[in-house]
Structure 1
Amino acid sequence: MSNPAPFPKEASLGKPVCVFCGSSPGSQPIFTLAAQAVGEALTREKIPLVYGGGRRGIMGVVSQAVLNSGGYVHGIVPRALMSRASEHTPTPSSTASSGTPAPGADLKSKEGVGKDLLEDDVDGRLSMEVVGSMHDRKLKMAQISTGGFIVLPGGYGTFEEALEMITWNQLGIHKLPVVILNINNLFTPLRKLFEDASESGFINPENLSLVSIVDLPEGEAANADESKAGEWGEAAVKALRDWSVSDRAGYNLQWAADENHVKAHPETASQIPPPPRTSSRALSLFTTMRFTSPSSSRPTIPIEKGHVPLLDRHIARLRRAHEHFAERGGEAVWGDWPGDEIVWEALQRGLEDSERAKQGDWRVRLLIHPGPHIEVQVLPAPADAGPFSLTFPPPASSSRRPLILDPHATALEDTLDRDVWLYKTTQRAHYDAASVRGGPSHPEVLLHTPTHLLETATSNVALRLPLPPKGDAAGASEHEWVTPCLAETRPFLDGTVRQELLERGVIREGEVTVEDWERCRVESKGGVVVVVGFNGLRGVWAAELVQP
Structure 2
Amino acid sequence: MSVPSPFPTQAELKKPVCVFCGSSPGKLPLFTNASVAVGQALAKNGIPLVYGGGRRGIMGVVSQSCLKAGGYVHGIVPAALTERASEHTPAPGTPAPSSSGKSKEGQGEDVLSEEQGEKFTTDVVGSMHERKLKMAKISQGGFIVLPGGYGTFEEALEMITWNQLGIHRLPILILNIGNFYTHLYNQFLSSVEAGFIAPSNLSLLKLVNLEGGEGANGDESRAEEWGQAAIKALDEWELAAESGYGLDWEVKEKRSASTSKMRPEAIFTTLRYTSPTSTPTLPVQKELLPLLNLHYERLREAFDHFSRKFGNNRWGIWPGEERIWDELTESIESAERSKSGDYRVRVVIHPGGRVDVQCVSAPKDAGPFTFLPSFTLPSTRRPVILDPEDTLINSQSQSDPSDEVDLRLYKTLNREMYDTAYERGGRLVNPSIHPEVILHTPTHLLETTTSNLAILLSSPNSHPNKWITPKLSGESPFLNGVMRRYLLRKGVIEEGEVTVEMIRQIRKNGGRIIGFNGLRGVWEGELI
**TM-score range with shorter-chain normalisation?**
0.5 to 0.7
CA contact (8 A) 1:532 1:541 kept: yes
1:380-529 to 2 correspondence within 5 Å? 380-393=361-374, 395-413=376-394, 414-439=401-426, 440=431, 441-465=433-457, 478-524=464-510
Over 3 Å counting, the alpha-carbon distance change for 1:480 and 1:466 in structure 2 is farther
Which amino acid in 1 is paired with 2:265? Answer: L
Tell me which of 536, 540, 544 is aligned to 2:518.
Answer: 536
1:9-37: CA deviations, max 9, x gaps?
xxxxxxxxxxx999xxxxxxxxxxxxxxx
- In the aligned structure 2, how far is the partner of 1:332 from the partner of 1:258? 28
Report how far residue 461 of structure 1 moved.
Answer: 0.5
Tell me which of 262, 279, 283 is aligned to 2:265.
Answer: 283
- Residue 283 of structure 2 aligns to a residue whose secondary structure is coil
Over 3 Å counting, the alpha-carbon distance change for 1:58 and 1:294 in structure 2 is farther
1:153-173: CA deviations, max 9, x gaps?
97548869xx9994133xx5x
1:167-206 to 2 correspondence within 5 Å? 167-169=76-78, 174-177=80-83, 206=97
CA contact (8 A) 1:350 1:377 kept: yes
In the alignment, does 2:32 pair up with 1:51?
A: no
Aligned twin of 1:91: none
Over 3 Å counting, the alpha-carbon distance change for 1:257 and 1:322 in structure 2 is farther
- In the aligned structure 1, how far is the partner of 2:60 from the partner of 2:391? 49
- In the aligned structure 1, how far is the partner of 2:264 from the partner of 2:95? 26
1:391-413: CA deviations, max 9, x gaps?
22364134001101111111211
Which amino acid in 2 is paired with 1:361? Answer: D
CA contact (8 A) 1:254 1:427 kept: no
Aligned twin of 2:233: none
- Residue 100 of structure 2 aligns to a residue whose secondary structure is helix
User: RMSD across aligned C-alpha pairs, in angstroms?
Assistant: 4.4
Which amino acid in 2 is paired with 1:445? Answer: V
Aligned twin of 1:29: none
- In the aligned structure 2, how far is the partner of 1:236 from the partner of 1:156? 12
In the alignment, does 2:108 pair up with 1:250?
A: no
In the alignment, does 2:56 pair up with 1:150?
A: yes
Over 3 Å counting, the alpha-carbon distance change for 1:56 and 1:534 in structure 2 is same
- In the aligned structure 1, how far is the partner of 2:61 from the partner of 2:514? 50
Over 3 Å counting, the alpha-carbon distance change for 1:464 and 1:154 in structure 2 is closer
Identify unmatched segments of 5+ residues in structure 2: 1-19, 35-50, 67-71, 85-93, 115-121, 134-149, 152-258, 395-400
Report how far residue 371 of structure 1 moved.
Answer: 1.2
Which amino acid in 2 is paired with 1:458? Answer: T
Tell me which of 303, 322, 333 is aligned to 1:341.
Answer: 322
1:352-388: CA deviations, max 9, x gaps?
0000111111111110111111111111111111111
- Residue 446 of structure 1 aligns to a residue whose secondary structure is strand
Identify unmatched segments of 5+ residues in structure 1: 1-19, 23-49, 61-80, 82-137, 143-147, 179-202, 214-232, 241-247, 264-277, 470-475
1:514-543: CA deviations, max 9, x gaps?
11121112233xxxx611111111111111
Report how far residue 256 of structure 1 moved.
Answer: 8.9
- In the aligned structure 1, how far is the partner of 2:131 from the partner of 2:30? 39
1:361-376 to 2 correspondence within 5 Å? 361-376=342-357
1:34-64: CA deviations, max 9, x gaps?
xxxxxxxxxxxxxxxx83543336879xxxx
Tell me which of 304, 307, 310 is aligned to 2:285.
Answer: 304
1:77-126: CA deviations, max 9, x gaps?
xxxx9xxxxxxxxxxxxxxxxxxxxxxxxxxxxxxxxxxxxxxxxxxxxx
- In the aligned structure 1, how far is the partner of 2:131 from the partner of 2:353? 11
- Residue 486 of structure 2 aligns to a residue whose secondary structure is helix
Comparing 322-331 with 457-466, which one deviates more in the overlay? 457-466
CA contact (8 A) 1:455 1:461 kept: yes
CA contact (8 A) 2:77 2:124 kept: no
- In the aligned structure 2, how far is the partner of 1:157 from the partner of 1:399? 38
Comparing 346-355 with 459-468, which one deviates more in the overlay? 459-468
CA contact (8 A) 1:253 1:426 kept: no
CA contact (8 A) 2:77 2:125 kept: no
- In the aligned structure 2, how far is the partner of 1:452 from the partner of 1:437? 18
- In the aligned structure 2, how far is the partner of 1:434 from the partner of 1:284? 21
Which amino acid in 2 is paired with 1:211? Answer: K
In the alignment, does 2:101 pair up with 1:210?
A: yes
CA contact (8 A) 1:523 1:530 kept: no
Report how far residue 389 of structure 1 moved.
Answer: 1.0
- In the aligned structure 2, how far is the partner of 1:285 from the partner of 1:153? 32
Which amino acid in 2 is paired with 1:167? Answer: I
CA contact (8 A) 2:32 2:61 kept: no
Report how far residue 346 of structure 1 moved.
Answer: 0.3
Which amino acid in 1 is paired with 2:514? Answer: V
Over 3 Å counting, the alpha-carbon distance change for 1:149 and 1:422 in structure 2 is same
Report how far residue 284 of structure 1 moved.
Answer: 0.7
Which amino acid in 1 is paired with 2:523? Answer: W
CA contact (8 A) 1:365 1:377 kept: yes
CA contact (8 A) 1:404 1:545 kept: yes
- In the aligned structure 1, how far is the partner of 2:435 from the partner of 2:493? 24
Aligned twin of 2:223: none
Report how far residue 495 of structure 1 moved.
Answer: 0.5
CA contact (8 A) 1:315 1:340 kept: yes
CA contact (8 A) 2:25 2:57 kept: no
- In the aligned structure 2, how far is the partner of 1:362 from the partner of 1:320? 25
Report how far residue 487 of structure 1 moved.
Answer: 1.2
1:164-198: CA deviations, max 9, x gaps?
994133xx5x53349xxxxxxxxxxxxxxxxxxxx
- In the aligned structure 2, how far is the partner of 1:156 from the partner of 1:398? 45
Over 3 Å counting, the alpha-carbon distance change for 1:21 and 1:375 in structure 2 is closer
Which amino acid in 2 is paired with 1:56? Answer: P
- In the aligned structure 2, how far is the partner of 1:326 from the partner of 1:516? 38
- In the aligned structure 1, how far is the partner of 2:417 from the partner of 2:367? 26
Over 3 Å counting, the alpha-carbon distance change for 1:466 and 1:354 in structure 2 is same
Report how far residue 252 of structure 1 moved.
Answer: 3.0
